[in-house]
Amino acid sequence: MRAALLLLALALPAVAQDFGGHENPKQPAAEVPADERRNTLEELWQRRLLPPDQSSWAPQDFELLQRIRAVEKEAIAYLKKTPGGVRPWTAKLPSGGALAAPKLTKAGYDRYEFLLSQDAIAFFESKGADAKWALKLHDWDDKPMFDGGGLLTPDGVSVYKRAKLNLEVFWKSPNGDVFGTRRPPAIKQ
């Protein structure tokens, strides 16, 4: 009899049972994270951050997605004002029956960064920075305003936006000259 029960137990699929009223520890996890992961993956595909045959992303891909989401409205409004418009730089994401707003793609984000950087270079040159030094400007805290590739850094974007709004902001050239939207403060020695 004991051998028959042992054979029966081996033949039946393993089912974890807990008669004490506790949750089954072998039960699959909740489906919400899987759905969220799937939605994020689809958004990465549609924004052309990942090729459609790739089923996972790296941390830098997700960070780029977050940066794109953060500047999306501003970038789309900016790109609408440029020749060629916004259409080549956006994708329509499917939504629940309603017309979805266009979403910025990776190419659109790159285009926005490039055009914003070019505008910033022209602005800083018009404020007295020599053309050969424009890409080597630093903010008041000596952080570079442009990366090595000619694009604005986050600190550079902050200085440029404040300067365009004519708010008080200062920047420095590599030789120590101070520029700004107001008279520069006296530098303490």
The DSSP secondary-structure symbol of 29 reads P
Return the structure tokens found at 156: 């550079």
pLDDT bin (cut points 50, 70, 90) of residue 186 is: low
Contacts 24+ apart (CB under 8 A), 75-79: 75/104, 75/108, 75/109, 75/112, 76/102, 76/104, 76/108, 78/112, 78/115, 78/116, 79/108, 79/111, 79/112, 79/115
- Would the pLDDT of 4 be above 70? no
Amino acid letter for position 137: L
**Does the pTM exceed 0.95?**
no
